[in-house]
Amino acid sequence: MTPVIILTLVLVWQAVLVGYTFTLAGNAADEAARAGTAAPPGGARQAACSAAGLKHLSAAWRGGAEVNCTQSGYVTAEVTLHVPVLFPGLIDFPARVTGHAGAVEEVKR
């Protein structure tokens, strides 16, 4: 019975890590979109967006993270993270989690 209990605990822990990765991806996308609306258009916007998207991620998730922002009157951010296997920072599943967010571009007059 002990192996079944241990296997169940390992599977539950892995499910928690997957859920936490979804939460991190969504939050990072929100932060990136918010920062992208305040930055000037062009390369500076992408840099501000990427920096904000990675700012609150720990090193375990930041390593393979990708932040992409697009603009056209509406700034959208997409953050893609790897899902760790049991312990963040060691090895990752080949599966990736993506968070999306958007915000209306600020117009300064």
CA distance linking residue 100 with residue 76, whole number of Å? 7
Predicted TM-score (pTM) of this structure: 0.80
Banded model confidence at residue 8, pLDDT cuts 50, 70, 90:
very high
Can you tell me whether residue 9 is helix, strand or coil? Answer: helix
What is the per-residue pLDDT across 29-74, written as a single tens digit (0 to 9) for each?
998 888 888 777 667 778 888 888 888 888 877 888 888 888 777 8
Identify the sign of the CA torsion 52, 56, 58, 64: negative
Length of the chain as a residue count: 109
Banded model confidence at residue 96, pLDDT cuts 50, 70, 90:
confident
Banded model confidence at residue 107, pLDDT cuts 50, 70, 90:
low
Residue 76 clears pLDDT 90, i.e. is over it: no
